[in-house]
Amino acid sequence: MSDANPILSGHGVGFLAGGRKLVAEANLELLGGSTTILIGPNGAGKSTLLKLLTGEIKPAGGEIRIAGEPLAAVPAWRLACLRSVMAQHARLAFPFSVYEVASLGVDGIGRALTRQRREAIVAESLAAAGVIDFAGRRYQTLSGGEQQRVQFARVLCQLEAGRSVAERQVLFLDEPIASLDLCHQLALLDMARAIAARGVAVLIVLHDLNLAVTYADHLIVMDQGQIIAQGPPAKTLDDALLRQVFKVDLTLSRAPAPGLPFLLPQQHRARPAA
């Protein structure tokens, strides 16, 4: 269910670097219960927009509000209870074990919780991310995909720990499935939607158009720093947009010529109804 009041909203958000507008006049709203997916070609400004929305960098213009307050006014620790971020790359400098990495999500903001509760959160998140069997292993010994799932577990921990303090939360996932097998990709995105179903506003940056269309309640298309189009997937994408933004001459929703097999995730029945 979508909540009418946006948990996070941005108006006229812009960012400059080296004289170039990396993000220009972005207007968007993230509603609780809704899964928003951000797509666009490389260099479109998706990561920059994400950094603006998570508070990592300050906008040059415009305003961002989270849970009713201006983002700039929220201190870092409280922000950590309100939103959780999974980055594209996570390099670890020292040999932490898997459960230690996941625990980072609860260690800071979960100090008020009991130790049992914290450990339970870590265990549940690791289990949900499918990496609990690796719990005692060193993070560096895992494959890229497994490491991504551990990061996802960490992000889940943080969200869960923050839930005791903040009712309205946002989950940001920046290309969370880049190194995952198809089955894990689908499972992770399923989980993201399940989290959204609990009332969290979810924003995912994806490259894969098919997956984006399958999982989005709300699609945002960016190109060269601008939001070109946004709305329900069916209404947002069309052939002209594909040509203009993605520079491909392909027709939407047309079955390919027989001979070559095709596999579309849209058929994945596991996804719950919006």
Partner 1 sequence: MTLAAPSPTMATATLTTLIASRRRAGLLAIAGLALACLLLTIVAIGQGAIAIAPGRVAEILMARLTGDTSLLEGRDVLVVLNIRLPRVLLGLLVGAGLAVSGALMQGLFRNPLADPGLVGVSSGAALAAAATIVLGDRFLAGTMMKLPFAALPAGAFCGGLISTLALYLIATRGGRTSVATMLLAGVALGALASALTGLLAFWSDDRQLRDLTFWSLGSLGGASWTKLTVVAPIILPLLLLMPLLARGLNGLMLGEAEAYHLGIPVQRIKALAILLVALAVGASVATAGLIGFVGIVVPHLIRLSVGPDHRLLLPLSALGGAMLLVGADIVARLIVVPAELPIGIVTATIGAPFFLWLLLRRTSLIDV
126 belongs to the binding site for partner 1 (CB under 8 A):
yes
Which of residues 45, 105, 176, 225 is near partner 1 by CB under 8 A?
A: 105
| Site track 24-63 with partner 1 (rule: CB under 8 A), x = hit | ---------------------------x--xxx-------
Rule CB under 8 A: say whether 76 interacts with partner 1. Answer: yes
Question: Per rule CB under 8 A, is residue 195 in the interface with partner 1?
Answer: no
Region from 3-11, 31-39, 136-144, 207-215 binding partner 1, contact rule CB under 8 A: 136-144
**Residues 40, 204: contact at Cβ < 8 Å?**
no
Question: What distance in Å separates the CA atoms of residue 173 and residue 88, rounded to the nearest whole number?
Answer: 8
CA–CA distance, 194 with 24 (Å, rounded to integer): 32
Are the beta carbons of 48 and 54 closer than 8 angstroms?
no
Cα–Cα distance for residue pair 126/151, rounded to 1 Å: 10
Q: Which of 191, 229, 241, 274 binds partner 1 (CB under 8 A)?
A: 191
29 touches 74 (CB < 8 A): no
Among residues 42, 73, 94, 240, the one that binds partner 1 under rule CB under 8 A: 94
Of 120, 127, 91, nearest to 106 by C-alpha is: 120
Cα separation, 217 vs 212, in Å, equals 9
Q: Are 102 and 126 in contact (CB under 8 A)?
A: yes
Residue 216 near residue 35 (C-beta atoms within 8 A): yes
Q: Binding to partner 1 by residue 77, rule CB under 8 A?
A: yes
Would you state the structure tokens that stand for residue 95, as one six-digit string? 């040999």
Instruction: Please say whether the beta carbons of 219 and 195 come within 8 A.
Output: no
Nearest to partner 1 of 37, 161 (CB atom): 161
| Cβ–Cβ < 8 Å for 25, 14 | yes
Q: What's the min distance (Å) between Cβ of 125 and partner 1? A: 10
Size of the site for partner 1 (CB under 8 A): 56
Is 150 one of the binding residues for partner 1 (CB under 8 A)?
no
**79 lines the binding site for partner 1 (CB under 8 A):** yes
Of the residues 132, 178, 242, 274, which one makes contact with partner 1 according to CB under 8 A: 132
List of residues contacting partner 1 (CB under 8 A): 51, 54-56, 76-81, 83-85, 87, 90-97, 99-101, 104-105, 107-109, 119-120, 122-124, 126-130, 132-133, 135-136, 138, 140, 149, 158, 183-184, 187-188, 190-191, 194, 270
